[in-house]
Structure 1
Amino acid sequence: MHRLPAARFLGLGVILCAVALPAAASPPLNALIARADRDSDGWISYPEFRDARLAAFDRADANHDQILTRAEARAMRADLGLPNRMPGPKTLSAMRAIDANGDNKLSRAEFTVAGRARFAQLDNDHDGRLSRADAYAAMSG
């Protein structure tokens, strides 16, 4: 199942997809990858991936209740430099799959669990870090 639209909507994979794109094509995404790669080694480890995702979650969580509403999730898109548009059917479907309790909101815990699964899905060579090749595969898959 291809879940990239959900990743973009929720900030799940956006940080990684940036490495696959040329600098001229995606300045916001390249800035995100640079922000996530804290040790500047050119790879994104799971802790870097997790921390970047959770930082985006925390910035979007306007009322600091550890829950993202759809409006807050749209705000996350803007924070990530992505168009602030209404999600399409695939994105909504993916969001429902992540929303374990079905309340139409994403808790920080749900977001974290989804992040672990997304990292494993993106790590094509299972080496515990994300490379440009992993990101390219996610973008083209």
Structure 2
Amino acid sequence: MAQAQYETRTRTVEETFVVLTLTEDEADELREVLGCHAVDALYRIYSALSKPVAPEPETSAYIFEHQGVAYEYGAMYRDTEGDHFEFDSVVSTDGTNTPRGRLVSRFGDAAGEWNWSLGEVVHGYGPLTKVTA
């Protein structure tokens, strides 16, 4: 017999932004655009927006995925209770590399062993937010 049920899933969303960098002169000219036509500034801005440059890929980051969400080894993640976790690749008893996590104090001191599976942390305390600063 067929069944259907609702599930709740948490996903980390990666967004791409176009960042426009202007010199002070270009910014001054752009401010004046509303009142007059600053053709040179408009052309340079249009040209820059027509060909945005892709960001350099992070070569040092090692990414792993869990339930469609990408995580980074060595990065710090905060759970919904404010606790911090970091994850590393640990060789399990069957010889496979498995992401394992440990609790980390807010001061960056490791407070535990690598005894948390990513699934346990996400299921029990997720969603996780990457700590960037």
Q: Normalization by structure 1: what TM-score?
A: 0.24
**RCO greater where, 1 or 2, for CA within 8 Å and sep 6 or more?**
1
Q: Normalization by structure 2: what TM-score?
A: 0.24
Question: Which has a greater percent of helix?
Answer: 1
